[in-house]
Structure 1
Amino acid sequence: MNNLETNLQEQIQELTEQLNWKKKLAKIFEDFIDSSYDPIFITDKNGYGFKMNKAYTRVTGATKEQLIGKHMNDLKEQGIISDSISMHVLEKKERLTMVQKVNGKELLVTGNPIFDENGEILYVVTNLRDISTLNQLKIELKHTKALADQYLQELEFYQKKDHIISHDGIVANSDKMLKVIDLVQKIAQVHSTVLLLGESGVGKEIIANLIQKLSSRANQPFIKLNCAAIPKDLLESELFGYEKGAFTGADSRGRAGLFEQADKGTIFLDEIGEMPLHLQVKLLRVIQELEVRRIGGGQPKKIDIRIISATNKDLESMVVRGEFRQDLYYRLNVVPIKIPSLRERKEDIPLLAFYFLKKLNQKYNMNKQLSDAAITQMKTYSWPGNIREMQNLIERLVVTVELEVIDSHHFSFNHQYLTQSLTNEKTLKEVVQDLERAMIMEAMVQYRSTRKAAKALGISQSALVKKMQRLGFQQTDYVLHQ
């Protein structure tokens, strides 16, 4: 073998080694960009797709067959990309960032030019970031801000009502409740008999306390009696008192009844619908004559009292059935005040929730909070037990939930709707409405979308929207993607 052949073989070997090395470099380069979690796309100096990694396909759904070897302007015309960062970089010869859509997906893209030794662009390397999650966070943040603004407005409105919040237990923002407070302030200045009407747990006793506190009798006795809590055979002696020796076991000194003890002040007769008929006659005489006669006594005693009574029953229906005296009903019903249920004053629910939460945090030296989702769920619940139920529920959650933030999943509403509705003497229509409200609320809290919630409930989106409007759902309670 001569020297020429030897040199040629050496050159061939050297070129082969260089080629293998370039192949290795190319493989390392390919492995490098494929190992990147973020999408990478490379175009050549003429704007043709040159290289892309697997992450690019994962995020955008676009394949190599669609992009590699294709000009960016052609891809733009085909609608695969909304714009080309590469073409802008080739034009301006500098790093650029923009929002671009690939296959309809919104992405944040940054194009970096790669220059040769003469300052000419060889390639444009583009990095992509999926901002769909960021956009969803923006939507959630916007919704949270809207809720915060709403609660802030409610709180500011509430704080302006100094004459209301100065009375312990009175939290009112709704028009219906503010009308009740306004009426209470008016009738507190006179001595008319008042009948408080409303479901169990709406706060009838609190309203009675407010009437007494605002009246000219505020510094006089305020006697309270639950007519359903005392055995009927003892109720008469409790109310009217007795003289010594009036009956076996009576105090030898006799005893003043509650009417006498309330002289110059106010007596509050709760659950008045439970008063036996034979005592209704005597109560009527007390109201008409403003005098009371003790059991076993002789002369009646004049008294100066105001009577406030309360009931969760339909006294008019009881009168028709002969269970309540009509003349007594008219005497008690001089100034009727209907206290709305909690589901009728949903604007007050956040304020009441934070009011009870603040008191319980102080009581137990805690710092528990309610999430937006928890407040939303509370606003869509029917509250058959009204304010009393809310207070008891929040206290139970404060002492049993280990986390600092009480969230919607901590509530047991979903399992209680039907049983509570049935035990609250509701009609079939009301029970069905409560069940619908519960299922819709659960679906909306989970999916935050009428379309997805309707699909989960097995009804059309338009039917769901109509039901939500009929059941009193507020559009601001959820992020609704139509």
Structure 2
Amino acid sequence: MKKKVKLYEEAMNASYDPIFITDKNGYGIFMNEAYTRVTGLTKDQLIGRHMKDILKDGLISDSVSLKVLKKKRRVTIMQYVNGKELLVTGNPIFDENNEISYVVTNLRDITSLKNLEQELHKTKALANKYLQELKVYQKKEQVIHHEGVIANSSQMLNVIHLAQKIAPFHSTVLLLGESGVGKEVIANLIQKLSNRSNKPFIKVNCAAIPKELLESELFGYEKGAFTGADSRGRPGLFEQAHTGTIFLDEIGEMSLQLQGKLLRVLQEFEVTRIGGRRTIKIDVRIISATNKDLESLVKKGEFREDLYYRLNIIPIKIPPLRERQEDIPLLAHYFLDKANEKYQLNKQFTDDALLAMKSYSWPGNVREMQNLIERLVITTDTNEIHSSHFPFSNKVNGHSQEKSIEKTMKEVIHEVEREMILKAITKYKTTRKAAKILGISQSTLVKKMQRLGL
């Protein structure tokens, strides 16, 4: 047994990656040489000491070991040690009684990605390796999250804090942000934290339902109201959301006529079905969302000013992914874990891939990242996903300048066109509107999209 323990200790000391182990009570019992090299912390500072005391001394900004012991599952956090930004993952080791006996911690130095000459193994793969050697079952769970929101940046933490603060109240909420930033995720968070969490939660995409059908969907209709109507009539979505919450996504796409009816709902909290005469009282909270500038639409006469002020009681602006780079590594690993689990694979990001993702502008935001990572997990031939696998051109190594010079002018123009078109389509949804903003005809835009494979 002593030989096995010595073998494990020598193996972990030989690892290039930092490893730290605490016992079930939160005391440090092992750290390899790589841990000292990366963090600058010594055994005298950590071994035999409780993590709460280490936190109190300010040696580390946060303890992933304590979080694992509390939540009894794998946890990933951002940690700061001696001025370095670290991506830290803690993995529980369970005994035969399914109680935690140890916590194995791996970390990656995010600040030194540009200077690394060798690729570091992904923390999850390293944790799985050592846990497999110890023949201990590892319970798989998501990376850090708050009620489904994956975030670490101050911008998103402010959004979460505001959502928590306003959730218990009945006030109308307007979620603002580019397409793909996660407006529906924040709507889910508000609903889950509200006192209506066990009541109906109806989601409506105002852009996905044809305008001529949206009114009957929202307000319902009486029997015989129009040709093709259900002979028994039908309650609308507002009625179905009674005592709960209704989420009106893409509210900027609603017609002016329908905006007037919605205004009445907000003022009187009552609806009248199409073809009906009686009003129906409803108790419903309204959360709306848009990627459009409603103030601009009001000035153009395309959105009712009185409705805008009714919806804009509590606005929450969700920042685009490019403005919260701290969230990118966490989101990337979260989506990678989900895709690996879904397809029974074990793909990993190299460090240049992580840096490339942090350098990219992500015009399609979180949704673009999720779809891209799932595609790469499926299509890449190796277990490692490199920056070269990404369709965008950002590089992280010292040869990026030389490679960009080697490109032809035609290639550079195509890259610029591709990014501008993606941003325009993401923001304005239709080729007609995107073409107008780009200053070209719709037919020209369609041809360019076909040529660029969009």
1:241-260 correspondence runs (5 A): 241-260=220-239
Work out which of the residue numbers 386, 392, 412 in structure 1 matches 2:371.
392
Quote how far apart the aligned CAs of 1:269 are.
0.4
CA–CA separation in structure 1 for the residues paired with 2:363 and 2:416: 9
- TM-superposition CA deviations, 1:351-408 (whole Å, max 9, x none): 0000000111111111100000000000000000000000000000000001000001
Aligned to 1:413, the other structure's residue is in SS state coil
CA–CA separation in structure 1 for the residues paired with 2:303 and 2:250: 13
1:98-117 correspondence runs (5 A): none
Which residue pairs with 1:381 in the alignment?
A: 360
Which residue pairs with 1:310 in the alignment?
A: 289
The residue type paired with residue 390 of structure 1 is M
Q: 1:232 to 1:140 in 2, by over 3 A?
A: closer
Aligned to 2:247, the other structure's residue is in SS state strand
Aligned to 2:288, the other structure's residue is in SS state strand
CA–CA separation in structure 1 for the residues paired with 2:274 and 2:146: 42
Which residue pairs with 1:234 in the alignment?
A: 213
- TM-superposition CA deviations, 1:261-319 (whole Å, max 9, x none): 00000000000000000000000000100001000111100000000000000000000
Aligned to 2:326, the other structure's residue is in SS state helix
The residue type paired with residue 176 of structure 2 is L
Quote how far apart the aligned CAs of 1:416 are.
4.8
Which residue pairs with 2:202 in the alignment?
A: 223
Q: 1:345 to 1:166 in 2, by over 3 A?
A: closer
CA–CA separation in structure 2 for the residues paired with 1:166 and 1:299: 43
Instruction: Name the larger-Rg structure.
Output: 1
Q: 1:240 to 1:202 in 2, by over 3 A?
A: same
Q: 1:424 to 1:401 in 2, by over 3 A?
A: same
Q: TM-score if structure 2 supplies the norm length?
A: 0.58
Aligned to 1:421, the other structure's residue is in SS state helix
Which residue pairs with 1:413 in the alignment?
A: 392
Does the aligned pair in 1 maintain the 2:221–2:234 contact within 8 Å? yes
RMSD (Å) for aligned C-alpha atoms: 2.5
Which residue pairs with 1:186 in the alignment?
A: 165
1:130-169 correspondence runs (5 A): 140-141=115-116, 165-168=145-148
Q: TM-score if structure 1 supplies the norm length?
A: 0.55
CA–CA separation in structure 2 for the residues paired with 1:144 and 1:345: 25
Does the aligned pair in 2 maintain the 1:243–1:297 contact within 8 Å? yes
Which residue pairs with 1:327 in the alignment?
A: 306
Which residue pairs with 1:356 in the alignment?
A: 335
1:402-441 correspondence runs (5 A): 402-414=381-393, 416-425=415-424
CA–CA separation in structure 1 for the residues paired with 2:189 and 2:298: 29
Which residue pairs with 1:298 in the alignment?
A: 277
Which residue pairs with 2:322 in the alignment?
A: 343
CA–CA separation in structure 2 for the residues paired with 1:172 and 1:416: 30
Does the aligned pair in 1 maintain the 2:119–2:350 contact within 8 Å? no
The residue type paired with residue 381 of structure 2 is E
Aligned to 1:390, the other structure's residue is in SS state helix
CA–CA separation in structure 2 for the residues paired with 1:351 and 1:326: 40
The residue type paired with residue 274 of structure 1 is E
Does the aligned pair in 1 maintain the 2:352–2:387 contact within 8 Å? yes
Larger helix proportion of the pair? 1
Higher RCO, 1 or 2 (CA under 8 Å, sep at least 6)?
2
**In percent, how many aligned pairs have the same letter?**
68
Q: 1:385 to 1:163 in 2, by over 3 A?
A: closer
How many pairs does the alignment contain? 277
Q: 1:166 to 1:320 in 2, by over 3 A?
A: closer
Quote how far apart the aligned CAs of 1:345 are.
0.3
The residue type paired with residue 253 of structure 2 is E
The residue type paired with residue 303 of structure 1 is I
Does the aligned pair in 2 maintain the 1:384–1:421 contact within 8 Å? no
Quote how far apart the aligned CAs of 1:164 are.
7.2
1:207 paired with 2:176, answer no
Does the aligned pair in 1 maintain the 2:259–2:304 contact within 8 Å? yes
Quote how far apart the aligned CAs of 1:423 are.
4.0
The residue type paired with residue 420 of structure 2 is S
CA–CA separation in structure 1 for the residues paired with 2:285 and 2:222: 24
CA–CA separation in structure 1 for the residues paired with 2:420 and 2:355: 20
Q: 1:331 to 1:269 in 2, by over 3 A?
A: same
Does the aligned pair in 2 maintain the 1:342–1:383 contact within 8 Å? yes
- TM-superposition CA deviations, 1:209-258 (whole Å, max 9, x none): 11101100000000011001011110100000000011111101000000
Aligned to 2:315, the other structure's residue is in SS state strand
Following TM superposition, the consecutive aligned residue runs of length 4 or more in structure 1 with deviations greater than 3 angstroms are 139-145, 415-418
